[in-house]
Every structure is written in structure tokens, then in C-alpha cells.
Structure 1
Amino acid sequence: LLTVAGALEVMGEAPPPAVQQGGPGRLLSASTGDRADYWRVAAVAVADEPSLGIGAGGFARRWERERDELVFVRDAHNLYLETLAELGPVGLGALLAVVAAPLVARRRCVHSDGPALAAYLALAAHAGVDWDWELPAVTLCLLLLGVVLLHADGRASTRRLGRATRVGLSIAAAALVSLGVIVSLGAASLDEADRALDRGDAATARENARRARRLAPWSAEPWQLLGEAELAAGRVPRAQAHLRRATREDPRSWTAWLALAVATDGVERAAAIGRARELNPLAPEIEFVAGDP
């Protein structure tokens, strides 16, 4: 895709960028804007996969497939509907349990912490109409308010956790921290591979893509970047093999299919372009590749 983007820039035919989902001023607006469209797409996703959901992070891809105009949207602007669409009833139930925990704990002390309760309810409700819950400051405020609600009466528990419980919690915390570090390192390698491709450094891109593949073996993106790096280095057969692997690992990635189209020809190229169009009909990059024999 970086090869395609570079060609577009050189030729002066770069496609218009997709409109972003809204600027900061929009957060203060009472208008629903395009939210009805976002909610409609999320609702269709719920209807298609009512039990398990379409997968974490799947809304953005569903939007690319269903949108009526070239607008970039990553979130459904409704935390609860988006969670139901992506993770199904189990995911939504877990989310609601976390959000409701402070409310259940404080159900008998409404008057003792009224301001904190009102602020907590406002933030929880606002998450149902916007995406700013993803901003760390907003979510941190929600968490801190939840802690206030849980402990506003000042009666801290004196019950000590058992040794086995403490050990188990410590192991779980260490595992989560380790996983977070691994994921962060993998993401950093992917970013570096992207930057290397952007500056034409195929060797560095290949090295970082391989590192990302080791750190995140569940992800198809390292295979795609490795294929693009091999293609940039002129190793077409290797590039094709890696890009085919990327489409097998993640058949719903339109960028992987488009990269495969760039690296192949004939029937396989046409099929890859067709699949990319199915997944993102309005992407101008696809039409550029399709028009470049």
C-alpha cells in the first residue's frame, strides 16, 4: 500500500483523504450528526452475529463495508452498542457489570455522595452517545469517581486476603503486565516497519516486520508488512507468499487483499481487487490499483 501511496503522490493523483469522524468542537454539540448511521451499522452487526459479535475492533471494518460516503469512523459513538456488536452479550454483560458495580455498592448512600454519583452517571451515560470514553483523562475520571462511590462512607474493609489469593492476584497482574509489554513492543515494531517502508528502507522494514511476527503471532499485519517489504526489495515470489498468508490469517483485511493485488497479476490480481472492493467499496486506493494494469 505504501508503494501505491507513493505512486499516487508522484503522479499528483492522490485520492482525497477520508473525512474524519469529527473535531473537538463536535463534542460540545447536542446534534446527533451522523451517529444514527453509526448506530445503524452497529445494529446490523448485532443482527448478523447476535451471539458472539463480530470481533474486537470489528466496527471500523464493518463501517468501511457499509458506509454511504467516504468518512473515516473507528467507533460507533455508543460504547454499549459497539461492545454488543463486537463482543456479543457476554462482552456487554461484563462491561455493564463493571459500570454498575459502584452504583450497586452505593445504592443505600445516595445522599452522602450526590455530586460524585451525578458525575459518574453523566460520564457513564455520555459513553452511550460518543467516543470520548477512549480518551485516558475521561476514563480515568470515571474510574476515580467509581472509587469514590465505593469508599465514600469511609468504612474500609479490614478483611485480609488469604495467601493463595494474594499469590494468584500477583501472578495474574504480572501476566497482564507482561502481555501488555509484549503487545506494546509488537506495535512499536509494526510502526517502525511502516516508517521504514515509507522512506524506502526495505531491509529495516523486513527486520521489524519479522520481529513483530515473533511478538504478535496472532496478528496478520506482520505478514502483510513483510510482504510489502519483500515487494519493495524486488523479491516478488516471497512477497506474494507472505501476502497470501496475510489474507489467510485475516480474510477481512481489505488492505491485505489490495497489497496482494499489487504484488500479483492475472486472475489472482482480479480476485484480490474484487475481494478488497467487497470489504471497502468506497476506498479510492482500490480503484487506483484496479486502473493500473
Structure 2
Amino acid sequence: MVGVCVLIAWGAIDGGYPSTTWYPGALFLLALLAVVLAGLGPPKGLSPEVRLAIACLAGYTVWSYLSILWAAQRADAWDGANRTLLYLLIFSLFATRPVRAGAGPTILIAWILGVALIAIAIVAQLATDTQPLQMFVSDRLADPTGYPNATAALWLSALLPAALLAGRAELPGPWRGLLAAAAVVLGDAALLTQSRGGAYSVAIVAVVAIVIARDRVRLIASLAPVAVAIAVTAPALLELSSRLAVQAPAAAVHAVTLPILPAAAAVGLVVALAGAVERSGRIGPAAASLLRVTIASLSWALALGAVLAAVIVLGNPLARVRAAWRSFEHPALQSTTTGPAGPAQSVRLAAGLSGYRYDYYRVALDAFSAHPLQGIGADNFAQLYLRKGRSATAPKYPHSIELRTLAQTGLVGLVLLLLAFGPALRRALGAARHDPGLGGAVAAAALLVWVYWIVQGSVDWLWEFPALGGAAMAMLGLACACGPLANASSASRRACTASPVPRRRRRALAGATSLVLLAGGVSLAAPWLSEHYVGAAEASWQSEPAKAFGLLDRAASLNPLSDRPLLVKGTIALRLGQPARALQAFEGALARSRDDAYATLELGALASARGQPQQARRLLERAHGLDPDDPVTSGALARVIAGGRVDVGAINRLLASSS
């Protein structure tokens, strides 16, 4: 439960994305794992699948750390490896301890309701806030993660598990009602994000849920009232962009969000009453059988009707697929429709696959082709895309878990990750199919969280949000823990314990484990403290510049791979009129990260200001090669080529205005 609280806290605080948010949580979970190992000893009775999954995930973590050796941005590779270590910690915490009776549902329901409470708080704020658009990005709900697609993933990864558990007769009626109401809020909140990836992913995962569920009729019956409530509120939610064009922002947002909580409450009440009636035993076997047949027939009829309606509304499916692929290759081609806001208003959920992912994937595949075995290093995509990308965007990640793995850790990383996920999935599916009762339902629902993450994460950058990746690994571990323990005779265990050789091995293993945990703690603490000091320096440099420079020096020593403390130091020095200190800082930054476009630009500008045109041109040409689409760099280079001098202050004002 403590781990669940960390996941929920990350969900509420930017999805756990900032390093100053997820690093403290990672250190806490590392300490928790150490306490568990010290108090309960090493786990016993682990299945071969879980052992193999942990071993391969540990291997992938080690490989990610090794990628620092060949990464161009070594500090980014260190962060990426630390995030992988975090996922190893979370999976190990949840997968290695058998779930006692009642603990599995408690853990899963606590996480679902925790995520739902965040959604309820967001919806309530939208319905009452006088400036609700502060929570949006381009008419799309971004809070609490700051990225609409990640926010959609946070809501939708909990929706289907909530609906599945809401249909379980083993749970009391009030709990089933709470879960159904939570599913409605999560679905409606997801619609406000206008996430195409979320819409496609939840449809795919719904099919997976029906396939793996032992009692499909019960699942469909619990989904039905949730779907009806979302269908009733969806039209207004999807018209938000149109309303914003003709109404005041607060009035428009209030109008579409006010019905969400009443609709959820109504569904929760209906499901709670139905659950109470079912548990009372008033429905006889014959009536129950007739009800199941009726629900199944209606479900098939509704599914067929939905398919026919989709064909009528969307037209020829093959034509839609071809149009979607064209928009994927050429982002300028987007589907439009006429709406209340006027002609040719873009409807995002019907806009095909437009975006720049095609170009992101092209660069990622090129990186894999150039470095097929080891990749370019964990989290080392950003600078590569600045050089080779063809769009005006500057993505830090490839927007795909699979391509991230291939491009950054190569075939070795891909094989290790597949060998980690494969056995874990087999174990989780076995747990879901083994137990026909609530335990199997919990395993299936928990597995759906991971499935959703991997489906949407295949077309988006979700790995980098610990609230999402951490929840996926935790629930995959929980699903594994729901399965039966591996068979081992007590006699063989006693014999093993009595032997002096295994005892010495256990001591050696305990010592090695302590060293690994200590090394992990240092690896997590150093970048976190470094970033903490950088933030403190950025907040205090105007009033206490000497203190700020001291903090930045400390940050640079804590993270000897990162150029960020030195970049901030150089920028502050320029603003304080200290070009010599700035020169030293930017040279130090470039020594740590040879492909840093910003440091190269600043050094070129400083060389020009000192009257060194040849050196300035060389540096600015390199900066332009590192970031060809940056207009500030292009302008500075053109001025130097024309024989003029670059104004360092003007350069930094332009950079500040464009950031």
C-alpha cells in the first residue's frame, strides 16, 4: 500500500515527470525494498517466470547503465538508466511477495480510487474555477501531468480495471458502485484531453479485457451503464472547442463539466443497488441464467450496431485507413469538418493520424540502423532529432516504447526487455485464468493496466512518466503475485537451511545485495540533489548571486556528467555582465556534452564579441549543424559571415523570448 501511495502522489504531481519529483519517490521505494528484505528476508517460493522476469529486467537496467559509456549525452543516459532501475524496484516490490487473501483487491482498488480522486478534483476545479484554461493546452486538458496524452493514459489505464471489478459479485454493493462511478469520471475526464492515442488504445484494451476475462457477460454488464453515462455526457465534452469560440472560457468549461459528477453518481447508485440485490440472493438460478442470456444478446446487438454506425459515420474503412496513413506521413493533411464554430473546424479525434510521429520514428529507426547492437544510449534521442529531424518540433523521446528501446539500447536491450515481459505476462495470464473468483479478476484487472500502458506507449512517450510506467510495472507485478507459489517441499527447504554452505552463500548474497542497494541509492541521490541545487540557484541568483554560483558548483560536482549546472551558471554570468565566468562555464559544459547546441552558440557569440571572427564562425557553424532549425543560431551565423559582430545580450534576449 505504501508503494501505491507513491504512485498516486506522482499522478497528482505532474505525472512524476520532473526529476525533482520522481527521484525522491525512487529513493523512498529503494529504502522500502531494503526494509522488506531486512525484515522478511529474501522472497521464497517465487515462480520461475517471476525469477526470469526480474533477472532480465535487472539485466536491462545494467545494460542501460552501460550505455552511459557510449552515449553522447551521458547525463541523460544516467537519468534514463535510473528510471529503468525505478521500474525494476517497483516490479520487484509487487511481484515477489505473495498476495494474501483480500490484499490484492485492496491494493488494486486503492490505486484505482486514488487515480479517480485526482480526476474528481480536476473535474471539480474545472466546474468552479474562474480561469480553467490554465489547466489546458490548445483546448485539451493537460493537468495533472502537463501533457494531454499522458493525462488521458492516467485516466484510461484505470477505467477498464474499475469497470471489471465493479461487476464482481464478491465485492459489496457500495464498493462496486464506487468503482463504476470512478469509471465514468475517468472516461469523461479522458474525453477532455482529446487524445486520439487514448481513444484507439482503450478500444483495443477493451477487446483484450473481453478476451482474458473469465466471465465476459459480467464484464459487459458492468461496462454497459458506464458506457451509457459516458455516451450521454460525451457530446458536450467533445464540443468544448466549439463553445470556446463563442463563449467565455469559464462559462464554456463549466457548462460541459458540470454534468460529469452527477452522471457518475447516478451510475454508482444504480450499480450499488444492483450489487446489493445480487448479494441478497433474491435472484434465483433460473432468473440469473435468463438475465445472462439477455445481457449477452443485447451486448452482441449493441456491438453490431456500433460497428454499423461507425461504418455509416466514418465511411469506407479502407478509405479511412488510407487517409489516416497519408495524414501520418504528411502532417499537413488533417481531417476537418464543419461545426458550430465555423467551417473547416478541426476535429481532433477524427483527424486521422496527423502529427510528426512519422518523422520521429524515421530518426529513431535511422539511429537503430547506425547502432543496431547497443543503440545510442538511454534517453539520447533529443539532440539527435535536432540534427536530423524535419519538423519544427523538438521531441526529447521517440514517442514509442519499442522504438525507444531499439534506438537507445539496441537489439541487446530489446531482447532483455522482451525476456523480462514475456515470462511476467505468462505468469499474470496464468493467475487470471487459474482462479475463477475474485483473485483471478484482480489479476486480470491489474494486467489490463500494463496492457493499456504498452498499447498507448507504443505510439507515445509514456515510459518517461513514472506515474504511468510505475503503475504498469506495479500492476504487472501484482498480477504475477496473485498466482500460486512455486512448489517446494518443506523438507528440502529445511535441508538447505541446515547446510553450512548455503548459510555462507546467504551471507554473501546479503552483503552483495546491500552493496547493490547502496550503489542504487547513490545513483539516484546524486542527480536529484544536483537538480535540487540548480533549482535553488535559479530561484536565488538575482538576490544572492554568490550563493547561486556556489550552489551551481556543488550541483556540478554531484553530477559530473551533466552540463546543466554549467549552462545555468554561464547564463547567469552573462546576465550579471561577467563574460569571463560565462566563457569558463560554457567551455566546461561543452567538455561534458560535446553536442550541446546552446553552449556552442553562446561560445560562438562570445568569440564574436571578443573580436575573434574565425573562431566565432567555426563555433556558430557547428551550432547550426547541431540545431539547423534554430532561427537565433542562423541569424548569428549570418551576421558573422557578413562581417558583423554578434550582440551577446541580444542573443540571450531572443533565446529568452522564444523559450
> TM class by shorter-chain length?
0.7 to 0.9
Q: Is the 8 A contact 1:102 1:150 kept in 2?
A: yes
1:32 is the counterpart of 2:375: no
Corresponding position of 1:11 = none
Task: Evaluate the alpha carbon distance shift between residue 166 and residue 288 of structure 1 in structure 2; reply closer, same or farther with a 3 A threshold.
Answer: same
Partner residue of 1:278 out of 613, 625, 628 = 625
Higher helix fraction (1 or 2): 2
Question: What is the distance in 2 between the residues matched to 1:201 and 1:287?
Answer: 35
Larger Rg: 2
CA RMSD of aligned residues (A): 3.0
Q: What CA deviation, in whole Å up to 9, does each residue of 1:62-93 have, x standing for no partner?
A: 22222223213122111121122112222323
Residue 249 of structure 1: aligned partner = 592
Which 5+ residue runs of structure 1 have no aligned equivalent?
1-18
Equivalent-residue separation in structure 1 for 2:368 and 2:624 (angstroms): 23
Return 60-69 or 274-283, whichever deviates more. Answer: 60-69
Aligned to 1:166: 510
The residue type paired with residue 182 of structure 1 is A
Which of 172, 176, 188 is 2:532 aligned to?
A: 188
Q: Provide the identity percentage.
A: 24
Give the TM-score normalised by the residue count of structure 1.
0.80
2:433 counterpart SS class: coil
1:227 corresponds to which of 544, 555, 570: 570
Show the counterpart of 1:3: none
CA–CA separation in structure 1 for the residues paired with 2:370 and 2:414: 16
- Pairwise mapping of residues 12-27 of structure 1 onto structure 2 (< 5 A)? 23-24=148-149, 25=193, 26=195, 27=197
Superposition pairs of residues 65-80 of structure 1, within 5 angstroms: 65-80=387-402
Equivalents in 2 of 1:142, 1:87: separation in Å?
21
* CA separation of 1:196 and 1:62: change in aligned 2, threshold 3 A: farther
Alpha carbons of structure 1 residues 287 and 202: separation in structure 2 relative to 1, 3 Å:
farther
- TM-score of the superposed pair, with normalisation by structure 2: 0.38
Aligned residues: 274
Which residue does 1:43 correspond to in 2? 365
Whether the aligned pair in 2 keeps the contact of 1:227 and 1:243 (CA below 8 Å) is yes
- Name the stretch that deviates more: 104-113 or 123-132: 104-113
Unaligned runs of 5+ in 2: 1-137, 150-192, 201-351, 435-439, 498-504, 640-645, 648-659
**Equivalent-residue separation in structure 2 for 1:123 and 1:22 (angstroms):** 15
- The aligned counterpart of 1:81 is 403
CA 1:223/1:32 → structure 2, altered by over 3 Å: closer, same or farther? same
Once the 2 structures are TM-superposed, how far is the Cα of residue 196 of structure 1 from its aligned partner?
Answer: 4.5
Q: Is the 8 A contact 2:549 2:569 kept in 1?
A: yes
Deviations 1:145-179, CA, capped at 9 Å, x for gaps:
22233222242788689232223222211221232
Runs of 4+ with deviation above 6 angstroms: 19-22, 156-161
Bigger mean CA offset, 269-278 vs 216-225: 216-225
When residues 200 and 276 of structure 1 are mapped into structure 2, their CA distance, relative to the original with a 3 A threshold, is: farther
Please state if 1:151 is matched with 2:481. yes
Write the distance in 1 (CA, Å) between the matches of 2:622 and 2:387.
Answer: 11
Structure 2 Cα separation of the partners of residues 237 and 95 of structure 1: 47
The structure-2 alpha-carbon separation of the partners of 1:137 and 1:241, relative to structure 1 and needing over 3 Å to count, comes to: closer
Q: Deviations over 1:193-238 (max 9, x none)?
A: 34455x4864343222211111011223333333334434444334
The answer to whether the aligner puts 1:141 opposite 2:463 as a matched pair is no
Distance 1:96 1:191 in 2: 38
Q: Which has the higher contact order (CA 8 A, sep 6+)?
A: 2
CA distance in structure 2 between the partners assigned to 1:98 and 1:54 by the alignment: 21
User: Which residue in 2 is equivalent to 1:10?
Assistant: none
Q: Distance in 1 between matches of 2:147 and 2:521?
A: 33
